[in-house]
Amino acid sequence: ASKAQGRNTWRSFSRDLGEQSKERLSLVTGLRHAIARNELSLAFQPILAANSLRIQGAEALLRWHPRSGPVSPALFVPIAEQSGAIVEIGRWVFEQTCSAQQRLAQAYPDSPPYLSLNLSAAQLNDEHIIDEFALILQRTGADTTRLLLELTETALFADVEKNLRILHALAELGMQVAVDDFGTGYSSLLQLLRLPVSQIKIDRAFVDGIEHREDARLIISAMVKMGHALGKRLIAEGVENEAQLFELQALKCDALQGFHLYRPMPEQALLEAIAENHRQPPCNASRVYYLI
């Protein structure tokens, strides 16, 4: 019996693996055609000034909706990175974000909101990225000073020497660079000083539970103090409730992003959200909180 069971276990194990790699292969193939098939889109999640809660910009987040139904970026982005498809998809994301930024600037000429987008490490390996981005900036008429490139800590610090040159070239085009998911990788503060990074995005793992946990507050407080001492702006991600919002305001974060404030939305909804937010700026929640 034990022999039969062992065989059964082995058989189902191997079938699962086979199924997994088949599914993965179909995602790889699907991603290769995603642009041509018009299956990609961007969602925009507003980013707010921490004190005034005024929308300052938004993060462009990639969405993939093949005929079989939408796939989470947490699943398809790593596959696109491993298969190399991310280079072409990333170019598409950059062009779409630039066009959207140009439309936002037309809608809000007095205070054009900025747009941030995510870059993969693989895109920094591609020597042509500088020329291609410069051309796209020209073609779309985007305001380079209103674009922010987000790179994860892991991507940035994987090969600082190599990234330095290309990041400086991107920064020279006028764009700002942010470290994404800060605190989750292996950042070296010394290396952070050498990179042309102006903003730090605190990963939502640190925000999670901040309202109950003194140690979580201490860590964020230390990140903010260090970041400010280095002249960086601090953006907290993953604000999911009002208590977290109050804590992050009290901890002197510069900007906030999270489901409690706004969910990612289509471009048209973003335009409406900004209009509404700027017409009626939300009251300063932290001041109210500290008076009571």
Tokens coding 155? 């991507």
Residue 57 site contact among Mg ion, ligand C2E, none (CB < 5 to 8 Å, cut-off depends on kind): none
Mask for 129-168, x = binds ligand C2E (CB under 6 A):
---------------------x------------------
Instruction: Return the residue of 238, 267, 274, 277 that touches ligand C2E, per CB under 6 A.
Output: 238
* Contact partner at residue 120 from Mg ion, ligand C2E, none, CB < 5 to 8 Å by partner kind: ligand C2E
Which of 74, 42, 71 is CA-nearest to residue 59?
Answer: 42
Q: Is 254 in the site for Mg ion (CB under 5 A)?
A: no
For residue 261, the partner it binds in Mg ion, ligand C2E, none, with Cβ less than 5 to 8 A by kind, is none
Least spacing, CB of residue 45 vs ligand C2E, in Å: 6
Using alpha carbons, select from 61, 90, 70 the residue that is nearest to residue 27.
70
Residue 1: how many CA atoms within 13 Å on its side-chain side? 0
Assess contact for 119 and 140: CB atoms under 8 A: no
d(CA 220, CA 55): 22
Q: Of the candidates 181, 247, 254, 267, which one interacts with ligand C2E according to CB under 6 A?
A: 181
Kindly indicate which of the ranges 166-174, 185-193, 231-239, 273-281 contains the residues binding ligand C2E, using the contact rule CB under 6 A.
231-239
The residues in 193-212 that bind ligand C2E, with binding defined as CB under 6 A, are 204
Q: Give, rounded to a whole angstrom, the gap between the first and last alpha carbons of the chain.
A: 70
H-run or E-run covering 152: strand 147-152
Closest among 130, 45, 48 to 94, alpha carbons compared? 130
Residue 46 within binding range of ligand C2E, rule CB under 6 A:
no
As beta bridge partners, residue 256 has: 48, 236
Say which entry of Mg ion, ligand C2E, none residue 244 contacts (CB below 5 to 8 A, set by partner kind): none
What is the separation of C-alpha 261 from the centre of its chain, rounded to a whole number of angstroms? 16
Torsion 74-181-152-104 (CA) sign: positive
Can residue 183 be called a binding residue for ligand C2E (CB under 6 A)?
Answer: no
Check binding of 118 to Mg ion (CB under 5 A): yes
66 forms part of the interface with ligand C2E (CB under 6 A): no
Q: Which amino acid, 51?
A: N
CB of 118 to Mg ion, least distance (A): 5
61 lines the binding site for ligand C2E (CB under 6 A)? yes
Contact 89, 64 (CB under 8 A): no
Tokens 């909180």, located at residue: 289
List 221's β-bridge partners, or say none. none
Which of 71-79, 120-128, 232-240, 267-275 is the region at the interface with Mg ion (rule: CB under 5 A)? 232-240
Taking CB under 6 A as the criterion, which residues in 241-260 touch ligand C2E? 257-259
Q: With CB under 6 A as the rule, give the number of residues binding ligand C2E.
A: 26
Contact footprint for Mg ion (CB under 5 A): 118, 150, 180-181, 237
